[in-house]
A and B are shown apart, each in its own frame.
Chain A
């Protein structure tokens, strides 16, 4: 059992570890004259020649999966899922597996830098005392109203710490953002839940027990909310007594669509209308009176507008009506439309019609977070727009950025990069030299996630109320410092109000202070009487969670109010709907991991690059062949990338993955592929999320060609070059 170990002690414990990895030489016996360095002081729990396993939390996305990291002689060797963590139960996704290539990435920020907004990563190193002085001065000398904190998506301890700090000194609350939250349309989902379910919060869909699932754009097997948790749910759904049936409504077949039993290619933006029409037909099929929510729907008109046959609608309605445990899930691109909020409400109304609120295989509200949670969701893009406006007007004097890469993760049209110029002082705490970091005045690199302490509230994905715990698995590889420590130290130096707001010695002490309220709750995975033991258990188990499911059953039933989904409006001129989607493999920040770059995309098997998906029929019409470089023109931008003739996309739609197109971010990411955010306009839906799937674009053949690296064979899979059969 572990005692409380302060982080600095830990550094000494893990010590200067082995250099055994340095000269692993392949199949020759030339590993002969290798220097072997033993620990200077061996950690008491380490055994020579045996691996040590640490429980921590995955930081690759905000889902909060628990990890067990195998370390050997002070090196992290392998990431495995934490079997106890209720989010992932021992499983991981590809991104989680590759997290070690972030830790040992050859392109990390190794020292605190006086970056000075250079074009490339600066070499002007500083020492940490000066760095902390810079932060301290910034915090002390800026008018509190002029301090802007921009943090990553995850609701973690740093967010709590910064929230306490800003609240204490009267600065604006920190803003959390991540590209994933825009693609998930989280704000819309939360808003719709508030409207339909009567409570604010992220809905939890009990996929595991559903017999029939209609998913409207929710790509829950890839990146949506908590992919590993939903994949487990999917697996259980398929394995249950009567094999669960999945119908996916989306214009472009996602990986989830590929696993669905039926894929309904609806016109982008009409998902909500289809849901309403289905609601009417289901009620009719069930021989019920059509609830008021659905009475205004003209099924014929919907069929016409959505490009789904009336017959098909009838068939689907019967399917839904006959199912014992039917579930409808709104999400993803369906909500990223001008009518996204209406769509989300309409789909949730289907759940209401199925009467599955709080039932197995139905809709719940995610459990309340174990610790206090001020702002439960990341900022919507509209809120980001407001933030950027504040930057432009000079309202923000000092901007501190951590865990997010807004230059890359925000649509170009929002003008974040330009707005940065209007902020006098920008400090980045990025671990990697990403686009935002190199445009900052200073980079004070945080540890990699696997080198740092922390906790993270699990927003959704499990029925238990969960706080996922993080601890360093290796000693920091470079001269980096925890951002929390930097802020604490800076506050302490600044003195005055700043010091009194955060009277903590270091990060670990802060975390422990936050954990104290949990000791009370005895119905959890472990019990401890006092904080030191509690803290040790917390690290050992990789977090804290309730034993019992803590899901909340929605109460409100909205079927008696008329629902309507207006026709979607699209921005831009062009023949094609543009559907950007997050690369299921890379996510928003995986591009700098070489092995992840080489993991093929599940649906297209493309590696190492971006592509644009076009229906083969359309491509044929335009004379586009596989691998032709295509110019995609929207009203705000132009990008060029190779065409992938994708059989499962609407002929009037093209799709581009998000995840590549970095200009910085290390050797494996920079200069590779394109960023579809360059094309997006500034249309928001009623909940403030960007209508990212509501663009119309033009495509122009450039005559250039670049063959994509594909795992699949074009000959074997598409019969390319096999001649006429």
Chain B
């Protein structure tokens, strides 16, 4: 029995089968990792594209970005400020959670997407101050409903941009690649 399996394994068919098996396992792992990266479901299927098409600036809602570390999420009263004037608010299925949240005075439970781990101390302000616009990192939101990360926010991606922005300024490069700039 064992012998049979062995002789089958050393045959070309066996090698190929082994290879395929390895591939399946490997892609399974990759898929598992990928699962952790997909965009989560939000309480409200927020259409960024529509809001942008009305000419609303990013900073109108995410106003912390120009000032400090966190861009922040708008309070529902801010949403309500416009939406209470719109007829569609009452009728739209999409907006039901918002109406409910306002009625019950309960916060909307957003799930952050553009996140970095706890050990990365990201600060929006210097990035905005360095005249990066939102699209540079968050992509073109006028084409998206629910926000999705345009790329994996990993250290290599951060570092690439930091090196690029530092250019020939050695002192700036030192500051921008210092471990303590992001990790503490």
Q: Is the CB of A49 within 8 A of B117?
A: no
Q: Does A359 sit within 8 A of B, measured CB to CB?
A: no
Among residues of A, the one whose C-beta sits closest to the C-beta of B118 is A31
In the bound assembly, the distance between CA atoms of A26 and B107 in angstroms comes to 26
Q: Is the CB of B112 within 8 A of A36?
A: yes
Q: Is the CB of B107 within 8 A of A38?
A: yes
Chain A residue numbers with a CB within 8 Å of B89 are none
Q: Does A45 sit within 8 A of B, measured CB to CB?
A: no
| Also in contact, A50 and B108, with CB within 8 A (given A29-B117, A36-B73) | no
Interface-lining segment among B64-72, B137-145, B162-170: B64-72
In the bound assembly, the distance between CA atoms of A37 and B104 in angstroms comes to 14
Among residues of A, the one whose C-beta sits closest to the C-beta of B125 is A49
Contact with A along B60-103 (1 / 0, CB 8 A): 00111001111111111100000000000000000000000100
Q: Is the CB of B106 within 8 A of A16?
A: yes
In the bound assembly, the distance between CA atoms of A28 and B67 in angstroms comes to 28
In the bound assembly, the distance between CA atoms of A48 and B61 in angstroms comes to 10
Q: Does B53 sit within 8 A of A, measured CB to CB?
A: no
Contact of A25 among B73, B77, B112, B118 (CB under 8 A): B118
Q: Is the CB of A32 within 8 A of B108?
A: no
Chain B residue numbers with a CB within 8 Å of A16 are 105-107
Q: Is the CB of A39 within 8 A of B107?
A: yes
Q: Does A35 sit within 8 A of B, measured CB to CB?
A: yes
Q: B129: shortest Cβ distance to chain A, in Å?
A: 15
Q: Is the CB of A36 within 8 A of B76?
A: no
Q: Which of B72, B77, B105 has the most CB of A within 10 A?
A: B72
Chain B residue numbers with a CB within 8 Å of A39 are 75, 107
In the bound assembly, the distance between CA atoms of A40 and B103 in angstroms comes to 11
Contact of A27 among B63, B74, B118 (CB under 8 A): B118
In the bound assembly, the distance between CA atoms of A47 and B125 in angstroms comes to 14
Chain A residue numbers with a CB within 8 Å of B118 are 24-27, 31
| Also in contact, A50 and B110, with CB within 8 A (given A29-B117, A31-B117) | no
Q: Is the CB of A40 within 8 A of B75?
A: yes
Chain B residue numbers with a CB within 8 Å of A48 are 62-64, 67-68, 70-73
Q: Which of B64, B107, B110, B119 has the most CB of A within 10 A?
A: B107
Interface positions, chain A 1-50, Cβ under 8 Å from B, are 15-16, 24-42, 47-50
- In the complex, how many residue pairs between chain A and chain B have their CB atoms under 8 Å apart? 81
Q: B61: shortest Cβ distance to chain A, in Å?
A: 10
Q: Is the CB of B112 within 8 A of A49?
A: no
Q: Is the CB of B111 within 8 A of A33?
A: yes
Q: Is the CB of A28 within 8 A of B107?
A: no
Q: Is the CB of A40 within 8 A of B106?
A: yes
Which of under 10, 10 to 19, 20 to 34, or 35 or more describes the interface residues of A? 20 to 34
Chain A residue numbers with a CB within 8 Å of B112 are 34, 36
Chain B residue numbers with a CB within 8 Å of A34 are 111-112, 115
Contact of B77 among A27, A37, A41 (CB under 8 A): A41
Q: Is the CB of A47 within 8 A of B36?
A: no
In the bound assembly, the distance between CA atoms of A489 and B133 in angstroms comes to 55
Chain B residue numbers with a CB within 8 Å of A28 are 117
Contact of B74 among A26, A38, A49 (CB under 8 A): A38
In the bound assembly, the distance between CA atoms of A35 and B119 in angstroms comes to 18
Among residues of A, the one whose C-beta sits closest to the C-beta of B105 is A40
Chain A residue numbers with a CB within 8 Å of B106 are 16, 40
| Also in contact, A37 and B107, with CB within 8 A (given A48-B72, A49-B72) | yes
Q: A46: shortest Cβ distance to chain B, in Å?
A: 10
Q: Does B7 sit within 8 A of A, measured CB to CB?
A: no
Q: Is the CB of B110 within 8 A of A35?
A: yes
Q: Is the CB of B76 within 8 A of A40?
A: yes
In the bound assembly, the distance between CA atoms of A29 and B118 in angstroms comes to 7
Q: B62: shortest Cβ distance to chain A, in Å?
A: 8
Chain A residue numbers with a CB within 8 Å of B70 are 48-49
Chain A residue numbers with a CB within 8 Å of B131 are none
In the bound assembly, the distance between CA atoms of A236 and B88 in angstroms comes to 69
Q: Does B151 sit within 8 A of A, measured CB to CB?
A: no
Interface positions, chain B 35-72, Cβ under 8 Å from A, are 36, 40, 62-64, 67-72
Among residues of B, the one whose C-beta sits closest to the C-beta of A37 is B107
Q: A32: shortest Cβ distance to chain B, in Å?
A: 6
Among residues of B, the one whose C-beta sits closest to the C-beta of A34 is B112
Chain A residue numbers with a CB within 8 Å of B109 are 35-37
Q: Which of B70, B76, B124 has the most CB of A within 10 A?
A: B70
Among residues of A, the one whose C-beta sits closest to the C-beta of B69 is A49
Q: B117: shortest Cβ distance to chain A, in Å?
A: 4
| Also in contact, A38 and B68, with CB within 8 A (given A28-B117, A31-B117) | no
Among residues of A, the one whose C-beta sits closest to the C-beta of B65 is A49
Q: Is the CB of B73 within 8 A of A38?
A: yes
Q: Is the CB of A38 within 8 A of B40?
A: no
In the bound assembly, the distance between CA atoms of A39 and B108 in angstroms comes to 9
Closest 9 CB pairs of A and B: A48-B72, A49-B70, A49-B64, A48-B64, A37-B107, A29-B117, A38-B73, A49-B68, A35-B109
Q: In the complex, given contacts A31-B117, A48-B73, what are 15 additional A-B residue pairs having Cβ atoms less than 8 angstroms apart? A: A24-B118, A25-B118, A27-B117, A28-B117, A31-B118, A32-B115, A34-B111, A35-B111, A36-B109, A40-B77, A40-B101, A47-B67, A48-B62, A48-B63, A48-B70
**Mind listing 7 A-B residue pairs with CB under 8 Å?**
A28-B117, A31-B117, A32-B115, A38-B74, A40-B106, A41-B105, A47-B68
Residues on B close to A: CB < 8 A? 36, 40, 62-64, 67-77, 101, 105-112, 115, 117-119, 124
